[in-house]
């Protein structure tokens, strides 16, 4: 299994909390607080990947789900490479999610 840091620039890799991350924190429902411009970028990138995307307005945020996505994890997480499909440098929301201990994460993120 790959690691999120593989192939990233040093700046992007520094945004990941541990060296051998297996993306456990990305395995939860995705609720994004996006501006309209960010939502359009997100939609465009999903379209470029030929993946049907559904965004649902929710309390000034968007619930994001790919129509072909299975499981309870971020739809932008490539399960083979364990890399984010959209960002090289993870957004603040991704770095801070979740705010509770992660079942399956063997290393705590300080």
Q: What pTM did the predictor assign?
A: 0.36
What is the four-CA torsion angle of 92, 89, 103, 65, rounded to 10 degrees?
80
Q: What is the pLDDT of residues 1-10, one digit of tens each?
A: 344 445 555 5
Indicate the domain borders of the chain: 10-96
* pLDDT for 89: 64
Written as six digits, the tokens of 34 are 């996006």
Question: Which residue in 83, 85, 20 sits closest to 48, CA to CA?
Answer: 85
Give the model confidence (pLDDT) of 55-79 as tens digits: 666 555 555 555 555 555 666 777 6
| pLDDT tens-digit readout, 10-36 | 554 554 554 555 555 565 555 566 666
Q: Which residues are CB-contacts of 80 (< 8 A; sequence separation ≥ 6)? A: 2
CA dist 105 to 1, 63, 88, 98, 108, Å? Answer: 15, 24, 21, 12, 7
Q: Is the pLDDT of residue 107 over 50?
A: no
d(CA 28, CA 31): 9
């Amino acid at each position: 299994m790959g690691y999120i840091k593989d192939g990233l620039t040093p700046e992007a890799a520094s945004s990941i909390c541990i060296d051998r991350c297996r993306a456990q924190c990305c395995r939860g429902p995705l609720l994004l607080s996006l501006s309209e411009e960010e939502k359009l970028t997100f939609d465009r990138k999903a379209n470029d990947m030929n993946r049907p995307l559904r965004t649902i307005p929710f309390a000034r945020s968007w619930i994001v789900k790919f129509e072909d996505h299975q499981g309870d994890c971020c739809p932008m997480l490539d399960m083979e490479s364990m890399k984010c499909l959209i960002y090289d440098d993870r957004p603040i929301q991704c770095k801070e999610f979740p705010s509770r201990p992660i079942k399956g994460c063997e290393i705590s993120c300080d």
